[in-house]
């Protein structure tokens, strides 16, 4: 991930350290403490790209995995051990009933559409589901496939001084499987990783640490070092001919642009928002991340990923096994659902009111669903055989339901949908040609979606 604080020495691919570059007069304090920041602009004209350049996307990843039976796929006629403790409520969309724990969702259901038949065959562990949900593939053979937002960044590049793909509030932590989470650029390289915030925007005096020049370098010195860097170009010719030099130069230029951009600073400045707007989103981490995502999209960012939670171990999440240290169904009802309901509904209403929803796809994904039957602890366990995802904006028609599960929410009964199709739907909304190939490992063509995967046409 792209974290820009300086923690000890940094090494390039060629083995040079931060100190080496300081000794030859380069701006090492910036270029090497920005681990390969956003060097994707040359790919903006990649073949197969359509002209829907005004579209952006927000991916909300519901880390921990909500129970389909307690949220968006209620089974009120099933046995008690299946249907759980919650009742369905009507929404403003005739086709959609949802759980009573989401009263604010019910008021905007005409703006989103549900996909109730998502499934995958990967192991029922969080990490595997994170990979599937965000890249459309399970990592195999040592190949890490790129996050959907990284693909968009790679193919389309940035629009403004801000990075093309931003991750809020920070990358996922442990999932229990000791595998990569799928939130990086994978084989596209570190240069195409998302810009990660590494800060909680709900905290007082919130600032983005990676946009502040190091304490020892003020803005005047930063500009002076930029000129010095330009003067010493070419003096270390062996290094300058290397790939690491090209990456360092790109990192330096992007870091300088980000740190000195009034536009970028303004986009992250939540103090510009009225108090009532901030409170409508909720003065908690997820709520302020949703508000920040809206500001970033408004400022020209192409893709924002929001993690509702950071790990399944250290905080209450959607991971409702029922016993400590995991969440109980009551904990989901009283803590998780109100926070999530508030922030999501505020985001959709705000985008709609500002005329942005048509050009902003908002998708809500998870790694899997939950077991059809409540376990002895009163919770539900991991279940990749069936769950619900949903989409709003970006050309998606609201108030629809795609697919269906069987009478106990265990498996798809109609129109099964794979993670590859979910990712393909994002790409379709943003105007990418699904036949586009990336340059994969060993230089081989690598399709941006699995062979045969298409967008969910019923949504559009």
pTM for this model (two decimals): 0.84
Q: What is the pLDDT of residue 148?
A: 98
Length of the chain counted residue by residue: 460
Residue 213 lies in a domain: no
Q: What is the pLDDT of residue 55?
A: 98
The segments of the chain whose pLDDT lies below 50 read 2-51, 235-237
Q: What is the pLDDT of residue 242?
A: 57
Residue 435 lies in a domain: yes
> Looking at the structure, do residues 31 and 62 belong to the same domain, yes or no?
no
Residue 199 lies in a domain: yes
Q: What is the pLDDT of residue 258?
A: 75
pLDDT in tens, 130-162: 999 999 999 999 999 999 999 999 999 999 999
Residue 319 lies in a domain: yes
pLDDT in tens, 4-36: 333 333 333 433 343 333 333 333 333 333 333
> Are the beta carbons of 160 and 263 closer than 8 angstroms?
yes
> Looking at the structure, do residues 146 and 193 belong to the same domain, yes or no?
yes
Q: What is the pLDDT of residue 259?
A: 74
Distances (CA, A) of 225 to 28, 255, 262: 10, 13, 19
Q: Is 446 helix (H, G, I), strand (E, B) or coil?
A: strand
Distance CA 320, CA 86 (A): 14
Q: Is 94 helix (H, G, I), strand (E, B) or coil?
A: coil
> Looking at the structure, do residues 347 and 365 belong to the same domain, yes or no?
yes
Residue 148 lies in a domain: yes
> Looking at the structure, do residues 283 and 426 belong to the same domain, yes or no?
yes
> Looking at the structure, do residues 341 and 455 belong to the same domain, yes or no?
yes
> Looking at the structure, do residues 102 and 192 belong to the same domain, yes or no?
yes
> Looking at the structure, do residues 389 and 410 belong to the same domain, yes or no?
yes
* Domain that includes residue 316, residue range: 43-208+268-459
């Amino acid at each position: 991930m792209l974290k820009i604080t300086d923690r000890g020495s940094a090494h390039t691919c060629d083995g040079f350290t931060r100190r080496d570059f300081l000794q030859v007069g380069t701006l090492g304090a910036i270029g090497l403490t920005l681990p390969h920041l956003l060097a994707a602009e040359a790919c903006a004209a990649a073949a197969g790209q359509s002209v829907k350049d005004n579209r952006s996307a927000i991916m909300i990843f519901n880390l921990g995995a909500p129970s389909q039976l307690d949220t968006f796929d209620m089974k009120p006629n099933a046995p008690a051990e299946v249907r759980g403790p919650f009742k369905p409520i009507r929404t403003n969309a005739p086709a959609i009933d949802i759980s009573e724990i989401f009263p604010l969702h019910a008021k905007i259901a005409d703006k989103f559409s549900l996909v109730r038949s998502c499934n995958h065959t990967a192991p029922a562990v969080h990490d595997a589901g994170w990979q599937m949900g965000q890249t459309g593939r399970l990592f195999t053979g040592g190949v890490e496939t790129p996050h959907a937002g990284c693909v968009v960044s790679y193919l389309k590049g940035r629009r403004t001084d801000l990075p093309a793909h931003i991750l809020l509030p920070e990358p996922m932590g442990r999932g229990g499987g000791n595998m990569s989470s799928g939130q990086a650029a994978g084989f596209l390289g570190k240069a195409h990783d998302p810009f990660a915030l590494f800060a909680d925007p709900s905290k007082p005096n919130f600032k983005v640490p990676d946009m502040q020049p190091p304490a020892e370098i003020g803005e005047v010195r930063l500009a002076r070092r930029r000129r010095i860097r330009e003067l010493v170009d070419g003096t270390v010719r062996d290094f300058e001919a290397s790939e690491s030099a090209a990456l360092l130069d790109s990192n330096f230029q992007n870091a300088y642009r980000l740190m000195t951009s009034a536009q970028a600073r303004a986009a992250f400045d939540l103090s510009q928002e009225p108090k009532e707007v901030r409170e409508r989103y909720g003065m908690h981490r997820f709520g302020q991340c949703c508000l920040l995502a809206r500001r970033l999209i408004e400022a020209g960012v192409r893709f924002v990923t929001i993690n509702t939670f950071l790990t399944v171990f250290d905080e209450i999440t959607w991971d409702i096994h029922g016993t400590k240290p995991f969440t109980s169904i009551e904990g989901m009802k009283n803590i998780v659902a109100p926070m999530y309901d508030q922030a999501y509904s505020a985001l959709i209403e705000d985008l709609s009111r500002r005329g942005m929803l048509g050009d902003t796809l908002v998708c809500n994904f998870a790694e899997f669903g939950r077991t059809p039957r409540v376990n002895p602890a009163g919770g539900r366990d991991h279940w990749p055989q069936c769950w619900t995802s949903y989409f709003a904006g970006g050309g998606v028609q609201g108030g629809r339901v795609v697919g269906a599960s069987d009478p106990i929410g265990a498996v798809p009964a109609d129109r099964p949908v794979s993670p590859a199709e979910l990712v393909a739907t994002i790409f379709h909304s943003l105007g990418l040609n699904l036949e586009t190939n990336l340059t994969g490992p060993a230089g081989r063509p690598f399709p941006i979606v699995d062979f045969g995967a298409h967008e969910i046409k019923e949504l559009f």
